[in-house]
Amino acid sequence: MTKVIGLTGGIGSGKTTIANYFAELGVPVYIADDGARVVMQLDHVIKEVKDVFGESVFENDVLNRAKLAEIVFNDKEKLAKLNAIVHPAVKKDFEVWLLQHKNYDYIIYEAAILFESGRYKECDYIITVTAPEEIRIERVLKRDNTTPAQVLSRIKMQWKDEDRISRSNFVINNVNLKIAKEEVVKILKILDIKQNQS
């Protein structure tokens, strides 16, 4: 049976870069954020979002993700409401994807909020990607049109690294990409050994 390897880390930790490297090495990768983008276009999800957040987060019937993010990342209650709509839909999307990859020994499920959403319970192993806060902020500022204060507020909404690490099987410190990639290769070797033993 295909093993699910959860891959997580805070905003700006570079977990998507690490996920892409797993993919380069031949491991199928499901990116939960991409799954969320897909399900957010489904009629029943759009209807639920409109019911909870109103028409103001839509422009010509297209969801304004930036506007929605601004609302939910400043309000834990609204974030929980959005997650209650999106997570079940992403879960179904992932289950279909997993069936399409059932011939692989293991796959990567990449999600920023793997622990917060409870999805970690469905993973066989968990990898946490870390980086110092100042590096994470710098990366997000380069990537997104945002401010340091906005990045910090998103960091505060997520679990702390030490909480993630305490529940993880592997940790990749992603400051130097060459060293981080070497860690990926080591993890794959360990997973291969575990797979052959099972």
150-170 pLDDT per residue, tens? 899 889 888 999 999 999 999
Q: How far apart are CA 34 and CA 7, in angstroms?
A: 14
Q: Is residue 84 part of a domain?
A: yes
Residue 118 domain-assigned (yes or no):
yes
For residue 197, is it within any domain?
A: no
Of 74 and 123, the one with more pLDDT: 123
Domain that holds residue 48: 3-192
Q: What is the pLDDT of residues 14-34, one digit of tens each?
A: 999 999 999 999 999 999 999
Asked whether the predicted pLDDT for residue 198 surpasses 90, the reply is no
The answer to the question of whether 26 is labelled as a binding residue is: no
Quote the tokens at residue 90: 């992403």
* DSSP letter, residue 25: T
CATH code of the domain containing 42? 3.40.50.300
Q: Is residue 45 part of a domain?
A: yes
Section 171-193 average pLDDT: 96
Is 12 labeled as ligand-binding?
yes
**Site of tokens 């060459």:** 178
| CA 157 vs CA 11, 116, 140, 150: distances in Å | 10, 10, 15, 11
Q: Would the annotation count 2 as a binding residue?
A: no
Instruction: Evaluate whether residue 198 is within a structural domain.
Output: no
| Residues in Cβ contact with 191 at an 8 Å cutoff, skipping those fewer than 6 apart | 3, 5, 105, 106, 125
* CA 13/CA 135 separation, integer angstroms: 8
Mapped onto helix, strand or coil, the DSSP state of residue 128 is strand
At 69 the pLDDT is 86
Buried (b) or exposed (e) across 53-92, using 16+ Cβ within 10 A? beeebbeeeebeeeebbeebbeeeeebebbbebbbebbee
Residue 37 inside a domain? The answer is: yes
Q: In this model, does residue 61 exceed pLDDT 80?
A: no
* Residue 130 located in a structural domain: yes
CA distance 30 to 89: 14
Which element (helix H / strand E) includes 131?
Answer: none
Q: Is 15 annotated as a binding residue?
A: yes
Provide the domain count of the chain. 1
* Residue 98 in domain: yes
